[in-house]
């Protein structure tokens, strides 16, 4: 049996590899769901109390307080929830774009060359620069960031889906369907789409952590969400002013929480890839 990843090695030793993989996905997804729901239930306008401003971490305030006396733990959870929501919408839109382009590429040689050229064009532009340009074009804010991440993260998934669709198109059952007079739309719906659904689903989840990180990065640089929104990028950007005063907790805990959320999504994506493709279990 192949060696298990570090996060489920030695745990649930009485379960087989498939059961451990499913259980890892379920537990990781539950943690992310709790974070997301907790952020949604948290009031966006957090109470301020200047009498307790800039307090270090304590039992009363686990992540300390900021310069307005707001609880940093609550702000972090709210920011993570917003980042998860933006990442969810962005990754779904990105996967839809990738799927559409992959099917367009399979139409004929001209469309395939056009999609290949489009992939090379977007891949040649520096990622952060492309996100900033698109975000500005859509007016920044939450909508601008979603569109920017969606229109910049479809490239890798499109490459994978394009190759998969082209391979399926050369199969015997597709050729047989063409001989029976089936349309390209019918073949795409009945033959190709069911076979690439797993790649689309896993690809969407693998885009998720990149979407969250880039959303936070572009917001940190001032080209994303507006300052009044409780985003992790805003929190980290604001904390830079107070790091010289020794307020390390303003950046450390939100940054660590963001990395943990990204890691959790990576774990889900890797395990789903292993679950859908048994050959990946040996990697």
| Rounded Cα distance, 122 and 250, in Å | 35
Task: Return the residue matching tokens 């539950």.
Answer: 30
Q: What's the whole-number mean pLDDT along residues 212-233? A: 77
Q: What angle do CA 25, 26, 27 make, to 5 degrees?
A: 95
0.85 surpassed by pTM: no
Of residues 73 and 281, more confidence is placed in 73
**Residue 42 structure tokens:** 């948290």
Kindly state the average pLDDT of the residues 113-138.
86
Please report the pLDDT score of residue 10 as a whole number. Answer: 54
pLDDT reported for residue 1: 45
Alpha carbons 238 and 243: distance in angstroms, whole number: 10
Residue % of the chain over a pLDDT of 90: 2
| The pLDDT of residue 13 | 60
Residue 232 pLDDT grade (very low, low, confident, very high; cuts 50, 70, 90): confident
Give the DSSP letter of residue 70: -
pLDDT surpasses 50 at 192:
yes
129 — pLDDT class (breaks 50, 70, 90): confident
Burial class (CB in 10 A: 0-12, 13-18, 19+), 90: buried
**Separation CA 236–CA 201 (nearest Å):** 31
CATH number for the domain whose boundaries are 17-41+71-162+194-282:
1.10.3720.10
Helix (H, G, I), strand (E, B) or coil at 58: coil
As given in the structure block, the two tokens for residue 222 are 């001032």
């Amino acid at each position: 049996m192949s060696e298990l990843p570090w996060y489920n090695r030695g745990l649930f030793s009485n379960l087989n590899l498939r059961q451990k993989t499913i259980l890892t996905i379920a537990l990781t997804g539950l943690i992310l769901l709790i974070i997301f729901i907790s952020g949604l239930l948290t009031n966006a306008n957090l109470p301020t109390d200047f009498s307790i401003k800039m307090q270090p971490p304590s039992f009363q305030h686990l992540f300390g307080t900021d310069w307005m006396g707001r609880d940093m733990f609550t702000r972090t959870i709210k920011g993570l929830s917003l980042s998860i929501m933006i990442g969810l919408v962005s990754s779904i839109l990105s996967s839809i774009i990738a799927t559409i382009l992959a099917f367009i590429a399979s139409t004929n040689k001209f469309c395939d060359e056009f999609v290949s050229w489009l992939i090379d064009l977007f891949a040649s532009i520096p990622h952060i620069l492309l996100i900033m340009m698109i975000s500005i074009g859509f007016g920044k804010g939450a909508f601008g960031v979603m569109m920017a991440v969606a229109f910049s993260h479809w490239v890798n998934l499109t490459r994978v889906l394009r190759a998969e669709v082209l391979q399926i198109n050369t199969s015997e059952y597709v050729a047989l369907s063409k001989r029976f007079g089936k349309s390209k739309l019918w073949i795409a719906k009945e033959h190709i789409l069911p076979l690439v659904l797993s790649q689309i689903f896993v690809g969407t989840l693998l885009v998720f952590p990149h979407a969250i990180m880039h959303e936070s990065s572009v917001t940190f640089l001032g080209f994303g969400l507006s300052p009044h929104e409780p985003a992790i990028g805003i929190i980290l950007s604001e904390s830079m002013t107070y790091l010289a005063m020794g307020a390390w907790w303003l950046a450390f805990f939100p940054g660590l929480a963001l990395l943990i959320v990204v890691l959790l999504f990576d774990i889900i994506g890797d395990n789903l890839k292993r679950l859908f493709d048994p050959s990946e279990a040996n990697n």
